[in-house]
Each structure stands twice: as structure tokens, then as C-alpha cells.
Structure 1
Amino acid sequence: MKKIVFLFSILGLSLQGYSQKEIKDKYKPIPAKNSEIKEPLPPTETPPNDPPPLKESTVLKINPEDLYKNNILYKPEANVEGIFYRRNEYLGGFVTNSSTSTVRYRDAAFVDGDKIRVLLNDKVIETEVLLDGEFQGFKINLVKGINKIDFEALNEGSASPNTAEFQVYDDKGAVIQASQWNVGTGYKATIILYKE
């Protein structure tokens, strides 16, 4: 019985080797109809949506310590050494004569599930927004005087802190301010637009 199995295995291996040689000797590639070799085109990339250049904005002088001292509206800073984002972040104050403003934002770093709430003059205008890689936002009618926009971090996603890139435009499409925030859960990033 062992001799028969051995005989079949030797016979199988010899046929396998013979068939491989036969295929190798007779193989000829079929030439293409158009034999010109063309370089593959690189994939087209859409350029990033770069904001238009910032116009020269008039900066409003506000002390962030005075702004954030109301512990009912703003969570007090956590004094944890080495953690810089457990605080509110002042993004600046700007004077404008625009009647409306467009605010756009997106996750600035790794899209990790960051969520925010948006407030205008301490009134909620966006309850919960999940930040992703694409810009999203809203348009507001500016009232005469102070228009305070707060972005409150509802979480920090899977990678701390809550990060976002934002852009603020006037009614002519010029950028008033473009930057980013890095805040912890419960803290707010604030920008103030003062309409003359």
C-alpha cells in the first residue's frame, strides 16, 4: 500500500513539474492594440478651502479675565500643571460695521467626535454640533453693540482637547478672524464682534 501511495505521489510531482515547464516555454504576452506606453495620470486633488486673506480688522480691547469671572456663565479655570486646555479661551474682539456675519467651523485636527454648543449673547443658537472635517456654520444678524459668540465644548472626542478651526466673515465675504480653539469639556472659546 505504501508503494502505491509513493508511486502516485512521484507521478503527480513529475506531471506537475512537466506541466509548469510546458506553460513557461509557450507563454507569450499579447501586445496591446495601442502599444504607446502612457504615464498614468496622478489623481486630481482639490485644493484646500483656504480662507481669503484677513482684512485689517479693528481690534476691540477687552480683558479676558473680566469676561470670564462670571462663574455662572463660564467654568472656572482648572489649575492642573501641564494641562493648558482646562480653561476658557478668548479668541479676540473685533469692530465691524457689517449687518450680518457668517461663522464657520470644523474639527481642526483629528476628526474624533468633538461636539460643541454655540451661544450668541448667552442664548443657545446651536444646541449640539458634531464637528467633522468639512466646514459648517451659521449666519447671524448683528445687533448694534456687543455680539458675543461662545463655542462651548460638550466633550473632547476620543483625543483631548476639543479642537476646531473657525472663520468669521462679514457681510461682504471678507474674513474678520480665522483661527482655532483648544478647550476642555465645559469650557468655552469666545469671540466678540462689536457692531458700530
Structure 2
Amino acid sequence: MKRILFFIVIIGMSLSGYAQEEFNAKYKPIPPKETKKKKEIPPKEISPKVTPPDIVKKPDSLLVDPKKLFNDINYYKKEANTEGIYYKKNQYLGSIKTKSLTSKVRYRDAAFLDGDYIRVFLNNKVIVPEVVLEGDYKEFEIKLQKGINRIDIEALNEGFAPPNTAQFEVYDDKGVTVMSDQWNVGKGYKASIIIIKE
């Protein structure tokens, strides 16, 4: 009898342990707390600071007439009338106006490193007597005079791969590229750049 009573007590305890309190009538769930929604302010757009690249100005071909420029046969070699050879003549590379006090000209061989030599003149005076064109840029700086400043680059040879070729860049005194081009001239001929200081 004690055993039966014991089993009844155990079964009763186990049934009360599995009962769920949630279904009790006294239980009330707590509602969630309402939060006020703040109006979202979009972040301010900050545009990145981008410095535009230096503008290469096109040469103003109206400043100097190349036909009149190369008329001086004592200074410029006469054009050779050889059919199929286009570089046996002087080459006008253009002209620019500037307010700079100085100008820097950088140059290098534009094609094969074939031993091209040049001589540089400023207003008919030699400023670079002889230099070989290489793959790296070389440069010279000139002090600009008011008015016309004529730079002439004379081809002293044509290397082993004619003609004498070079790429050049002209900078003002602020380091801005104002002209960029290349020359292709035969031995004894000149490539000319005109810089007019205002």
C-alpha cells in the first residue's frame, strides 16, 4: 500500500511539473515599448577634390608664318626636292604666347636610340652646342625676352635610322605643359618653336 501511495505521489508531482503557466488566466504579456522613429537625415555629399590635368594649349599657327620664317638661306638650309623623302626640310613646330619669365624645354629621342645629335639655338645664338638624344628626357631652361623668342633645334646627324627624331615638351615657369610635339628632320635642317612673351 505504501508503494501504491508512493507511486501516486510521484505521478502527481510529475504531472504538476509539466503543467504550463502560460495558459493561466492571470498571465498578461508585456507589450513592447514603442520608440519614436527619428527622421533620418541623409549624409552630406562631399565631392572629392580633383585637380584637373594640365591643359596642353594648341600652338597658334597665326602668330608666325613658317614660309617667312625659313626664308633666311644663310641660317636655314634650303629644302631638298627628293621624291619620297619628307624630312629633308625645316620643320615649324608652332608658336605660343605666354606671360612666363622663363620656359623649360624637355626633349628625348622619339624612336630608336640611334645616336641622334642636335644643337640648340635661341634667337640665332647657340645655347646647347651638341647633345645626343637618349631615352630619358634632357632639358634646358631659357630666360624669355619680351617679344619673339625663337628656339631652333638643328639636326647634326640622322643616326643610323633616319631622320633625326625627337619628342619634346615646353613648360612655362609654373611647370604647366604649354606645347608637346615631335620633330623629324634631316641632317643640317632645323625644327623651330616660337615663344612670344607678352
User: Equivalent residues in 2 for 1:36-185 (5 A)?
Assistant: 53-56=54-57, 59=60, 60-185=62-187
Q: 2-side partners of 1:56 and 1:116: how far apart?
A: 26
Distance (Å, rounded) in 2 between the aligned partners of 1:109 and 1:67: 27
Aligned equivalent of 1:186, options 162, 168, 188 = 188
Aligned to 1:9: none
Q: CA RMSD in A?
A: 1.2
Aligned twin of 1:16: none
Aligned structure 1 segments of 4 or more residues deviating by more than 6 angstroms: none
Higher helix share: 1
Q: Is the radius of gyration larger for structure 1 or structure 2?
A: 2
Is residue 59–residue 179 contact of structure 2 (8 Å, CA) maintained in 1?
no
Q: How many residues are aligned here?
A: 145
Structure 1 CA distance for aligned equivalents of residues 162 and 55 of structure 2: 29
**Alpha-carbon distance between aligned partners in 2 of 1:113 and 1:126, rounded to the nearest angstrom:** 17
The change in CA–CA distance for 1:62 and 1:147 in structure 2 (over 3 A counts) is: same
- Please report how far the alpha carbon of residue 61 of structure 1 lies from its aligned counterpart in structure 2 after TM superposition: 2.2
TM-score, length of structure 1 as denominator length = 0.72
1:63 is displaced (CA, Å) by: 1.2
Alpha-carbon contact 1:54-1:177 (below 8 Å) kept: no
Question: Which letter does structure 1 place at the counterpart of 2:136?
Answer: E
State the identity as a percent: 58
In 2, the alpha carbon distance for the partners of 1:134 and 1:125 equals: 20
Distance apart, 1:54 and its partner CA: 3.2
Counterpart-to-counterpart distance in 1, 2:114 and 2:173: 32
Deviation at 1:142, TM superposition (A): 0.3
Residues 1:58 and 1:110: Cα distance change in structure 2 (over 3 Å): closer
Amino acid at match of 1:184: G
- Tell me if structure 2 keeps the 8 A contact 1:106–1:131: yes
- For structure 2, the residue ranges without an aligned partner over 5 or more in a row are 1-52
Q: Deviations over 1:77-99 (max 9, x none)?
A: 00001000000000001110000
Change over 3 Å in CA distance of 1:183–1:58 after alignment to 2: closer
Q: Deviations over 1:111-165 (max 9, x none)?
A: 0000000000000000001000000011111000000000000000010000000
Structure 2 Cα separation of the partners of residues 54 and 109 of structure 1: 25
State the alpha-carbon separation in 2 of the partners of residues 101 and 88 from structure 1. Answer: 23
The residue type paired with residue 105 of structure 2 is V
